[in-house]
Amino acid sequence: MNYEIKDVSARLKATREYLDISTDDMAEKVKIPIKEYIILESGEKDLSLSFLNDCAGALGVELIELLTGTEPRLQKYSIVKSGKGLPIDRRIGFTYQHMAYLFKHKKIEPLIVTAPYSEAEQDKPVHLSKHDGQEMNFIIKGKMRFTIGGNTEILEEGDCVYFDSNVPHGMVAADGKDCEFLAVLI
């Protein structure tokens, strides 16, 4: 599903205003400069999944509500069949499927992520990002070059990395093939 940035930004702004939270307070809650927050909320810049997750937490709503405008309703269990996760287009080239989008009051955000292999990325430093919380990535298929805190590791099928996502981190597919992994954001 290709979410329009302007629609997601409008839901973010409307929710913030409904809860009577100022832009200054919201920027402080998600730990970014006020100018950057205003640009993101206005829809002038793409919204990262980690930024939206931080905003959802600060507003006390589900991430899916900001993305789709729909509130999850299931409370006992949720089954999402293979390939049927909620598609999220966030990082260019990467594909994300949210695997618990129907479940209300989630404590984790489970995503199946496919990182595309790019020959051009192999000799470049890995793009790093950071966000509040912790994260686990379990490699399902392929290999990943994972960088965190100045260290770089090659992860293969069956390998798992768990980390403090406040530490700058990033990943690219390695070894000539796309890399598919389960990312669990806490």
Classify strands 143-148 and 169-174 as parallel, antiparallel or unpaired. antiparallel
The listed CATH number (3.40.50.300, 3.40.50.1100, 3.40.50.920, 1.10.260.40) that belongs to domain 5-68: 1.10.260.40
179 near 143, Cβ under 8 Å?
yes
**Segment 72-112, tens digit of pLDDT:** 989 999 999 999 999 887 677 888 999 999 999 999 999 99
Rg (CA), the chain: 17
Q: Which CATH architecture best describes the domain 107-185?
A: Sandwich (2.60)
> pTM for the full model?
0.81
pLDDT of amino acid 24: 96
157 near 164, Cβ under 8 Å?
no
- In 3-state terms, what secondary structure has residue 91? coil
Task: Report the distance separating Cα 169 and Cα 131, nearest Å.
Answer: 9
Round the average pLDDT of the chain to a whole number and report it: 91
The β-bridge partners of 97 are: 87, 112
Give the mean model confidence (pLDDT) for residues 136-150.
96
Query: For the chain, which residues make up each domain, given as ranges?
Result: 5-68, 107-185
Which stretch, 61-75, 93-107, 147-161, has highest mean pLDDT? 147-161
